[in-house]
Amino acid sequence: MLLDIKNSEVIEGDIFQKFAEENKLPPLKLNRDSITVTPQTKNILPEFSVNNYVVFEPNQIYILGLSQDMESFKKFISGNKEK
N residues, the chain: 83
- Mean pLDDT of all residues in 34-55: 78
Question: Would you state the pLDDT for residue 41?
Answer: 62
Range of the domain at 19: 2-81
pLDDT tens readout for residues 10-30: 988 888 888 888 998 888 888
Question: Would you state the pLDDT for residue 81?
Answer: 61
Q: Give the C-alpha separation, 79 to 20, whole Å.
A: 38
Please count the CA atoms within 13 angstroms of the CA of 3 that sit on its side-chain side: 14
- Mean pLDDT of all residues in 37-55: 76
> How many structural domains is the chain composed of?
1
Question: Would you state the pLDDT for residue 8?
Answer: 92
Q: Provide the whole-model pTM.
A: 0.60
